[in-house]
Amino acid sequence: MALNTEKVLAMNGGQGKSSYARNSSLQGKFLRFLQPFLQECIAHMNITPCNKFAIADLGCSSGPNSLFIAHTISTEIQDKYMAMSLPKPELQVFFSDLPSSDFNLLFQSLPPPPKGDKQEEEEEDDNEKNGTIKTRCNYFAAGVAGSFYNRLFPKNSLHFVHSNFSLHWLSQVPAEIEDKRSRSWNGGRVFISKDGPVEVGEAYLRQFQKDFHSFLRARSEEVVAGGCMFLSLLGRPDECEDPRDQGPFATVWDILHASFNDMVIQGVIEEDKRDSFNLPFFSPSSLELRAEVEKEGSFTVKRIDYFSVLGQPRFETENIKDEDIGRMVANHSRAVLEGMISAYFGSEVVNPLYENFAKRAAGNASQVMESILHGGEFFVVLGRKQD
C-alpha cells in the first residue's frame, strides 16, 4: 500500500502536547538565525512601484513560525518602499501547504487584517484617546492548499517566495525502493542508511532532482521577472558525496530505524508492513541544489550557504537530562511524522513506537545532541531572470 503523500504528509495540528505548534522550537531557532539574511535578501531586491505586492510562504504548516516569517517579510518590504520614497503597496501573503495542514489553527492565530488608510487613521486616533492598542496585520492573508511541486498561482503574480523546512520532503517515495524485485529495494529500513544498497541512495537522489526541478519550473511561471525566492531546507555537506550519507542527522534516523525494528520483534508491526514503508525525505548537497537550478534555467543563484545553526554558541544546550533529550527528540519527530505513521500502520502503533524512540534517544543522548546541534541546513537565495 503506497502512501498518498499529499493526503498524509502534514505536521500534527492543534495545540496539544504532540502538535507541531508546540514542537517546532528547533525550526523557530533556525528561522531567527536566518532573519538577518532574509532582511538582507529583501534589502538587495530590485523594487519597482506597484499597487499590490504578493508574498507566498510555501509549506507554511501551522503555529507561530509561519506568522513570524510573514511579519518579517512584510515589514521589510514596507520599510524598503519607504526608504526609496515610493508609495507603499498593499501586501498579500499567501500561506500555502498541503490540504491536510491545519489551516484553521494558522488563521485563528492571525491578528485582524489591515484596514483602509482613512480607517487606520481613525482607529489610531481612537486608540490614542482610549489608551488602547490594537495590533493588526500589515498584510492581507489568504490560504492556498496544494503541493508546491505543481502550479499554485497565476502567471507573473508573485514577487517574493519563501519556503522553510519543506523542500527536503519529496512528492513521493521512489517507487523502485518498495519493489522486492528491484536492486533498489530498501527492505528492513524506513529510510536511507549508510549500510543500505547504493541503488537506494541513487533512487532518492533522482526523486529529489525530479521534484526540485518541478518546484523551480512551477515557480518560474508564477514569479515576476526580478522577483526573489528565499528557501531553507535540511541538507548535507558537499563532502558527503554518497547520497546514502545523509549528514549529521543520520543518528536520529538510525534511532528511528532501530525503533521500527523493535516494534517488529515485539510483534507490534508486521515485518512485511515495515519493509513496505519508507519516508519521502532527502537531504541534498549544495552541488545537487545548484545543478538543478542551473539545469532548469529560470533563476540565478545569488547565494547558497550551509550552516550548522544550532551549533552556534548561543544555541548550545547544557545540563539537560538524558531522559529530557530523549523525550524532546521523540516529540519533535512525532509532531512531523505521526500523520504518515498512523495512516500506514494504524494509530495504535504511534505511542509504543515513540516510547521506544524516546528511550533509545535517551540512551544515546550525547550522540543525539551532537547530531542536532551540528546538523546542517541550507538557505538558498534565487532571483528570477528576465524573460
Cell 493526503 appears where? 7
Q: Which region, left, alpha or beta, applies to residue 245 given φ > 0 means left and ψ of -120 to 50 means alpha?
A: beta
Question: Where do the structural domains in the chain lie, given as residue ranges?
Answer: 5-384
3-state DSSP call for residue 355?
Answer: helix
Which pLDDT belongs to residue 282? 95
- Name the nearest CA neighbour of 58 among 147, 189, 182, 191: 147
Which pLDDT belongs to residue 33? 82
> In this structure, are residues 306 and 377 in contact, taking their beta carbons and an 8 Å threshold?
yes
Cα separation, 229 vs 249, in Å, equals: 26
Which phi and psi angles does 185 have, rounded to 5°? -60, 135
* Cell representation of residue 226: 526580478
Which pLDDT belongs to residue 16? 64
Q: Which helix (H) or strand (E) holds 271?
A: helix 271-275
Could you read off the pLDDT of 214-270 as tens digits, one per residue?
A: 999 999 999 999 999 999 999 988 988 999 998 877 888 899 999 999 999 999 999
Tell which CATH classification among 3.40.50.150, 3.90.400.10, 1.20.140.10, 3.10.105.10 matches the domain 5-384: 3.40.50.150
Which pLDDT belongs to residue 178? 87
Q: Is 195 exposed, middle or buried (0-12, 13-18, 19+ CB in 10 A)?
A: exposed
3-state DSSP call for residue 377?
Answer: strand
Provide the 8-state DSSP code for 113. P
Q: Model-level pTM?
A: 0.90
* Cell representation of residue 327: 523525550
> In this structure, are residues 280 and 173 in contact, taking their beta carbons and an 8 Å threshold?
yes
CA distances from 20 to 66, 248, 262, 315, 362 (A): 12, 22, 26, 20, 21
- Name the nearest CA neighbour of 273 among 282, 264, 262, 265: 264
Residue ranges in the chain modelled with pLDDT below 70: 1-3, 7-8, 11-16, 18-26, 116-134, 309-319
Please list the residues that pair with 96 across neighbouring strands.
58, 144
Cα separation, 310 vs 26, in Å, equals: 8
Which pLDDT belongs to residue 116? 64
Which phi and psi angles does 141 have, rounded to 5°? -110, 145
> In this structure, are residues 222 and 153 in contact, taking their beta carbons and an 8 Å threshold?
yes
Long-range contacts from 134-139, C-beta under 8 angstroms, 24+ separation: 135/111, 136/111, 136/112, 137/74, 137/110, 137/111, 137/112, 137/113, 138/71, 138/74, 138/75, 138/78, 138/91, 138/114, 139/55, 139/70, 139/74, 139/91, 139/92, 139/93, 139/114
Cα separation, 99 vs 94, in Å, equals: 14
